Amino acid sequence: MLKIIVGVEKGPFLVKGAVRKKPVLIGRKIRTSTCYVPQQSLEIMFDVSSGDAEKRATSIVLNAAKHVDLSFAFFLESREQSELPETMLVCAMMASLDTSQLYAPMNA
């Protein structure tokens, strides 16, 4: 199971309140789809607007994106004692994103 922790490092109080720095299990709370090409790539797409709470949080963050610094950490969740400690896959930060420059076709 993939786990993500998102944090607002800098931004308005409203955004910090909408995005709590706690683990979320991807696939349970957020709808996903994947594309895997063996030995080449793994693509995981997150539908961050799949539920009402997710839509509100996404809207708040995107509207304030130019004034927000977000951090992301992705982990493989440990289910057994032998799998501990959990392994971090990716850690990244997004700062002052201009969402008007994004292009994401709905039927790609």
Could you tell me if residue 25 is inside a domain?
A: yes
Whether 108 maps to a domain, the answer reads no
Distance CA 94, CA 104 (A): 17
- Name the percent of the chain lying above pLDDT 90: 7
The answer to whether position 17 is within a domain reads yes
Query: Domains in the chain: how many in total?
Result: 1
With respect to residue 107, please indicate whether it lies within any of the assigned structural domains. no
Q: What is the 3-state secondary structure (H, E, C) of the chain?
A: CEEEEEEEEECCHHHHHHCCCCCEEECCCEEEEEEEECCCEEEEEEECCCCHHHHHHHHHHHHCHHHCEEEEEEEECCCCHHHCCCEEEEEEEEECCCHHHCCCCCCC
105 assigned to some structural domain: no
Confirm whether pTM is higher than 0.85. Answer: no
4-51 pLDDT per residue, tens: 898 889 888 877 887 888 887 776 777 788 888 999 988 888 777 777
In this predicted structure, the answer to whether residue 85 has a pLDDT above a threshold of 90 is: no
Q: Judge whether 79 lies within some domain.
A: yes
Q: Domain range for residue 41?
A: 2-97
Average pLDDT over residues 53-77: 81
Residue 41 lies in a domain: yes
Q: Is residue 88 part of a domain?
A: yes
Tell me the mean pLDDT in the region 57-75.
82
What's the mean pLDDT in 95-106? Answer: 73
